C-alpha cells in the first residue's frame, strides 16, 4: 500500500492490524477500496463480539450488491459463490459441507423466541412477460444414495415439515 503525502491534519491515519496483515485507515480523507480483495491464506475469519444490552439489530457481515442501469441483454447475478473441490478421497470418512450455519439462542425470562437457521426472502416482479420467483432451488446429483432434502428434528412435539401456501390461510 502506498500513501502519498499524508499530513497529520488532512491525511489518513494508518494503523497496523493483527499480525501486520490488515491496515485500517481513518480520518477525513481515509482511503477507499474500489477493487477486489484477494486473500491468499488458508482461512478468513471474521470475529464480532457485540456487548450491548439495548434492543437492536446487529449484523456480523453485510453484503450489499446492487446492479444499476437497464440491461439490454442476459444477466446472471450471484451474491455469494462457493466452489469447493476435494481432488482425491481414497479412504476414511470424508465429509464436505458447503455452508454450515449454527445459530444458538439461550433465553431466560419472558419473551418470544424465534430461531431461524436460514431465512431466504426472494422478491420478484410481475412486470416481465414471464416471471418465476423461487426462494430455494436444490439439486442433488451423483452418489449411490442421493437425497434432495434430509430433515432431522429431535423434539417430536410439532411439525417435522410444514409447508404453508399463501392461497390457504389454514
54-67 tens-digit pLDDT: 888 888 888 888 88
Is the separation of the CB atoms in 63 and 80 below 8 Å?
A: yes
| Res. 121: pLDDT tops 80 | yes
Is the separation of the CB atoms in 80 and 65 below 8 Å?
A: no
18-35 tens-digit pLDDT: 554 555 566 666 655 555
Amino acid at each position: 500500500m502506498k500513501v502519498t503525502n499524508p499530513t497529520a491534519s488532512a491525511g489518513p491515519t494508518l494503523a497496523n492490524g493483527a499480525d501486520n496483515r490488515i491496515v485500517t485507515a481513518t480520518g477525513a480523507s481515509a482511503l477507499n477500496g474500489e477493487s477486489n480483495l484477494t486473500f491468499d491464506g488458508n482461512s478468513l475469519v471474521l470475529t464480532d463480539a457485540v456487548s450491548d444490552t439495548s434492543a437492536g439489530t446487529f449484523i456480523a457481515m453485510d453484503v450489499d450488491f446492487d446492479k444499476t442501469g437497464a440491461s439490454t441483454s442476459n444477466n446472471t447475478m450471484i451474491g455469494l459463490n462457493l466452489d469447493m473441490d476435494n481432488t482425491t478421497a481414497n479412504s476414511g470418512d470424508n465429509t464436505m459441507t458447503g455452508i454450515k450455519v449454527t445459530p444458538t439462542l439461550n433465553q431466560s425470562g419472558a419473551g418470544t423466541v424465534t430461531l431461524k437457521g436460514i431465512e431466504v426472502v426472494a422478491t420478484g416482479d410481475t412486470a416481465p412477460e414471464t416471471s418465476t420467483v423461487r426462494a430455494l432451488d436444490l439439486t442433488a446429483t451423483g452418489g449411490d444414495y442421493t437425497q434432495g432434502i434430509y430433515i432431522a428434528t429431535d423434539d417430536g412435539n410439532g411439525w417435522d415439515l410444514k409447508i404453508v401456501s399463501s392461497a390457504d390461510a389454514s
